[in-house]
Structure 1
């Protein structure tokens, strides 16, 4: 018997069953809960059931079988403690869908795959009660930390109830209802809000640590051809956009379009509003590069969101050198040559003479080490998994580690799924509570062109070289 089990009557009974699953081990589909002489349905309306505080409810059902380890003989996976099962299986748990929350589940699974973020959240302190701080931010960051911990320690699906509650408190747009049902949300908004929240909320001496993980610094030339006016702007974003048109067949082409835009502002020389051209270049790179495929747009004639189904291919290995500023290209030159030499050695090729002379070496080393202060230095935040490698230099080359897909015709409906590369190199499809192993060759087939799962967000991890290799 369990006492003091709280029921959130604003949520569906299915959420309550997930809560009981955590307590009893009885999966929601096996639970039979008696309320007023009848069975509690997953979609029932709590307000019509008249449940009162202190009321006793009866649940019947069979818990998942617990197999005792034999005294002798081989040890099977199901006999292991759950944390050991996670290591044996090779991936973490899935997440229950709590009612149109696939956008949240897929976002969490992608961010959960970033070991540096998990390491940072482990050290996050408990929320401090104070009128001077935003408690909703603290509570959501703490809930993120605890949810990541639950995923790492469980094989059975996890019900992210506390995380969802805190997410909706902090960002009310995720609590929008339509006909009494929580609406499907756009996962890129959830992704950027969570990264922004943790980056702003985490009390670190090194306040730019999470910016180095995900932030992309852009430098832009803004000009008006007719008057010859020109200026330079800088900004930091958490994702690059891949714009899709009839001319775009590959991610590279979409990124090129995404770095060009039009900007309407007042012209000092003309004394009126004018349409300026904005050409952007990457001026600093993150360890994890997030790219959003701009598949949704507002269709004026039907006054609703529409989806671009066009096929856009993307690579397992992405080189962004062509999109970088001249300054960043200079800083990438030495690390890229070292990476080419290392890869050449593996193929049995002779390495090239990296630096032409001592003077060039000193200059280029200074440029690389200066750039590492943002992109590679991890001494305060411990951004690298191996503590012995405290500094790494980025090369501008990235490897695909996660794909978040959308299936359906509208951003307000359909289904989101995360496809995540594990530390062992295997790919797992996280379809809510159902993790499914996948082949690597199947991942690049999520490029669109038909009414199936297609890439909406791609996350790439930097391929870097240790700073000591530069000396």
Structure 2
């Protein structure tokens, strides 16, 4: 790591860090943040020549405290230039593999692995990419604030860059707009950007996208796209045993919580704990505070079910954030039928029967054999949570229950069964440091580990080993895709 001075026009920037393990493009992105001059417009003098993106720091002879001169014109926001078509046969052999197998990685711009892993997981949702593309084409609506609009457009452009690039992408413009919208992501410690919480980044980004993508003035089908994709409707019974008071509450959330305790060894147990809680509030009947039990059920399912493992908590005795390292297993296939309300269970009965029939045919069973005992089969589906879907083909694009009709005129229905498509992990014992990585299932069925700018193929059987219990990567967020049937 080197620190240099950079002179640009009449300004001099001291102690600018150069991470010599990263390509010069990352250094240019740092200067973009300081000056507003896009990397493609920067001309940086090194040893009488110009610094190139492909240069090797070890051969440039840059020394500690050296003064570099940069030329270039700043713009407030500059769109990346359109890239011409890249033909696979024209690429080097190692890049051909990348181009054919998965999208590009993302450069770490200084403790931004939390952001990179979040983006790679959400980038894997084709329906979100489609909605972003249509939003970008339709333009900003009057009821969307400027910062949310700009962040939404930057997300669309970054997703496009990931899809068409064979080399790692520097998410500089997105990061700049994320920090502008949510200043907490721009916190500094000793002059460097601090590590942040990936779940907070995930939640805040979805919130901004929901503001833009739900506008009725935009020209795409679903006026509430983010809720349709990720929204979970919850109905809760709030009961006070002491006074006998009872009420019900409804809310919409973007993720389920898997609470971790000594009794929790599996995701199913953690979700069960997460749907029950105690709260203290004023009791009109007693005229004082009392303890209420809140029991929740899922009343509406999303196309993509997000689950957060509650691994971080505030430790009062040391007054700092701590991490729970306990191992909690999770399945490749998840059935949430047991967590649904009675009303939702009734809606799921017919689609689940259809799913049983379809899967039975693939196993060579007749419909009558597969559906002879509906209740018994439901139990078997629940017990199969720990098993793989074995590449089960989805009959169509997943849609929210009773929300969106398909192009064929049929309405794909949710079954309550989900397949794992992305895992965001955290490595390390400290809650405020460590390293975040995304593990994403491709359309081909192969899994890719996105460790910032380094995509690495992985075996499916190794994905469920990211369950914790040590210093290795452990699941922090899991994203499941709904298995649906045409009715």
Relative to the length of structure 1, the TM-score reads 0.80
The within-5 A match list for 1:198-277 is: 198-202=209-213, 203=215, 204=218, 206-277=222-293
1:298 paired to 2:317: no
Residue of structure 2 aligned with 1:155, choices 155, 162, 166: 166
Give the structure 1 partner of residue 393 of structure 2: none
The within-5 A match list for 1:71-220 is: 76=89, 78=91, 87-88=99-100, 90-125=101-136, 133-202=144-213, 203=215, 204=218, 206-220=222-236
Between stretches 329-338 and 25-34, larger displacement belongs to 25-34
In structure 2, do the counterparts of structure 1 residues 446 and 22 end up closer, same or farther at CA, with 3 Å as the change threshold? farther
Unaligned runs of 5+ in 2: 1-7, 20-25, 30-37, 43-49, 74-85, 374-397
Q: What SS does structure 1 have at the residue aligned with 2:430?
A: coil
Paired with 1:9 and 1:168, the residues of 2 have a C-alpha distance of 21
Paired with 1:302 and 1:343, the residues of 2 have a C-alpha distance of 53
Give the structure 2 partner of residue 444 of structure 1: 464
In structure 2, do the counterparts of structure 1 residues 123 and 54 end up closer, same or farther at CA, with 3 Å as the change threshold? closer
Q: What SS does structure 2 have at the residue aligned with 1:155?
A: coil
1:465 paired to 2:479: no
In structure 2, do the counterparts of structure 1 residues 21 and 437 end up closer, same or farther at CA, with 3 Å as the change threshold? farther
Residue of structure 2 aligned with 1:280, choices 290, 296, 312: 296
1:435 paired to 2:455: yes
Residue 20 of structure 1: how far off its partner (Å): 4.5
Aligned residue pairs, count: 415
Residue of structure 2 aligned with 1:396, choices 416, 426, 440: 416
In structure 2, do the counterparts of structure 1 residues 150 and 389 end up closer, same or farther at CA, with 3 Å as the change threshold? farther
Unaligned runs of 5+ in 1: 56-67, 70-74, 357-371
- Cα offsets for 1:169-203 (capped at 9, x unmatched): 00011011112211101001111111111111123
Q: What SS does structure 1 have at the residue aligned with 2:166?
A: coil
Residue 293 of structure 1: how far off its partner (Å): 0.3
In structure 2, do the counterparts of structure 1 residues 100 and 334 end up closer, same or farther at CA, with 3 Å as the change threshold? same
Give the structure 2 partner of residue 422 of structure 1: 442
Paired with 2:12 and 2:431, the residues of 1 have a C-alpha distance of 28
- Cα offsets for 1:89-120 (capped at 9, x unmatched): x2000000000000000000000000000111
Give the structure 1 partner of residue 384 of structure 2: none
Paired with 2:41 and 2:478, the residues of 1 have a C-alpha distance of 32
- Cα offsets for 1:117-150 (capped at 9, x unmatched): 0111111237968997521111100000000000
Paired with 2:277 and 2:462, the residues of 1 have a C-alpha distance of 33
Residue 266 of structure 1: how far off its partner (Å): 1.1
Relative to the length of structure 2, the TM-score reads 0.77
Q: What SS does structure 1 have at the residue aligned with 2:168?
A: coil
Paired with 2:245 and 2:238, the residues of 1 have a C-alpha distance of 8
The within-5 A match list for 1:297-446 is: 297-352=313-368, 374-375=400-401, 377-379=403-405, 387-388=407-408, 391-446=411-466
- Cα offsets for 1:2-56 (capped at 9, x unmatched): xx99x9969855633357589899556725898xxx7277xx7xxx95867769x
RMSD (Å), alpha carbons: 3.4
